[in-house]
Amino acid sequence: GQNIDQPTEMTATEGAIVQINCTYQTSGFNGLFWYQQHAGEAPTFLSYNVLDGLEEKGRFSSFLSRSKGYSYLLLKELQMKDSASYLCAVQKTSYDKVIFGPGTSLSVIP
């Protein structure tokens, strides 16, 4: 079967760094996505990892270890607007559906 785990909720302070972890167990692996979803809004794409290592994109970075079935999203210099749900999603093959994790609700406090 497929299983993707993320912490349900996290709280971090404005200006700080936060790491949101995602572990997965799937019968195949083609790539891993991170999406951001503000309350009442559409999920929006943040990153896509295919190979092991760290992908940096401004204040956001995403890391992947395929051998460990593990990814994290790193948010630096947190801002209040970063308060949102962060969804980890795995695709088993290039033509397969994307399976979403339960999402992590991040609250950024002053």
Partner 1 sequence: ETGVTQTPRHLVMGMTNKKSLKCEQHLGHNAMYWYKQSAKKPLELMFVYNFKEQTENNSVPSRFSPECPNSSHLFLHLHTLQPEDSALYLCASSQDRGAGTGELFFGEGSRLTVL
- Footprint of partner 1 on this chain (CB under 8 A)? 4, 30-31, 33, 35, 40-45, 48, 87, 89, 91, 93-103
Which 8-state DSSP code applies to residue 102?
-
Q: Smallest distance, Å, CB 76 to partner 1? A: 22
Chain Cα centroid distance, residue 109:
20
**In whole angstroms, how close is the CB of 7 to partner 1 at the nearest point?**
14
Q: What phi and psi values does residue 12 have, to the nearest 5 degrees? A: -145, 160
Residue located via tokens 């339960």: 102
Amino acid, res. 110: P
Nearer to partner 1, 81 or 110 (CB): 81
Q: How far is the CB of 28 from partner 1 (least distance, A)?
A: 12
